[in-house]
């Protein structure tokens, strides 16, 4: 009889390993947790429904989501069976959705503001170049004031024009990975599984 118990004990870690392996294979993003606190910041003592998310968790989620398609992502948290609590899990799911939706909206807003600022710079730059051209066209005679205005306005116009293009195209594009990440995660199907 004692031999059978030893066999059972020896098989349990293997069964746990195979269960974890199955979950890793079937899900798109799987994270192994010791406690629910692993998802949240150690420095934030608030309850789960208001608590800040851990930078480590966000970094791992970001890395794992990079190669995933834009469809619905399955985010699976694997917890020890004895430590699971359905009420806490529901609060955590709600908190994650709120966090990702809020940050997605914020990133989209930042990208729009960058684009607007870029277009404004372009418009002001072109306007300044037009003023410089008008001064050259209207006042044919050479004069100190005319020369000074042209020297002042032409570089300012070109600077604002090129900076506007930089903002509207390249700076806006830098926000794309963050927007994509928060969009994917705001649509994620969050589940908790036991191991």
7 in any annotated domain: yes
What global pTM score does this model have? Answer: 0.73
Based on the fold, state whether residues 9 and 99 are members of the same structural domain. yes
Q: Please check whether residue 157 lies inside any domain of the structure.
A: yes
In this prediction, residue 141 carries a pLDDT of 74
Phi-psi region of 194 (alpha: psi -120 to 50; beta: other; left: phi over 0): beta
Do residue 144 and residue 101 come from a single domain? no
Q: State how far the alpha carbon of 45 is from the alpha carbons of 35, 42, 98, 154, in Å.
A: 15, 7, 18, 56
86 is a domain residue: yes
Domain region containing 17: 2-105+187-194
Per the structure, the count of domains in the chain is 2
What pairs with residue 75 in β-bridges?
29, 190
Same domain, 86 and 159: no
Per-residue pLDDT reduced to its tens digit, 103-134: 999 999 999 999 999 999 999 999 999 999 99
**Do residues 72 and 137 share a domain?**
no
Running DSSP on this structure, what letter comes out for residue 79? E
Tell me, yes or no, whether 13 and 101 share the same domain. Answer: yes
What are the tens digits of pLDDT across the range 16-49? 566 555 544 444 788 888 899 999 998 988 888 8
140 and 46 housed in the same domain? no
Residues 88 and 140 in one domain: no
Res. 194 pLDDT band, cuts 50 70 90 = confident
Establish if 182 belongs to a structural domain: no
Residues 64 and 128 in one domain: no
């Amino acid at each position: 009889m004692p031999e059978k118990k030893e066999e059972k004990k020896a098989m349990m870690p293997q069964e746990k390993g195979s269960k974890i392996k199955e979950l890793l294979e079937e899900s798109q993003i799987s994270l192994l947790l010791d406690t629910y606190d692993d998802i949240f910041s150690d420095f934030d003592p608030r309850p789960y429904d208001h608590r800040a998310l851990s930078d480590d968790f966000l970094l791992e989620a970001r890395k794992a989501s990079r190669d995933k398609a834009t469809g619905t992502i399955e985010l699976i948290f694997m917890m020890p069976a004895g430590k699971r609590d359905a009420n806490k899990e529901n609060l955590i799911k709600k908190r994650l959705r709120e966090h990702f939706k809020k940050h997605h909206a914020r990133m989209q807003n930042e990208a729009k503001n960058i684009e607007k600022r870029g277009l404004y710079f372009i418009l002001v730059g072109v306007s300044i170049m037009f003023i410089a051209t008008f001064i050259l066209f209207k006042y044919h005679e050479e004069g100190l004031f005319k020369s000074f205005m042209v020297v002042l306005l032409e570089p300012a116009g070109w600077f604002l024009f090129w900076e506007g293009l930089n903002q509207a195209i390249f700076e806006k594009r830098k926000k794309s990975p963050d927007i994509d990440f928060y969009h994917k995660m705001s649509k994620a199907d969050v589940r908790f599984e036991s191991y």
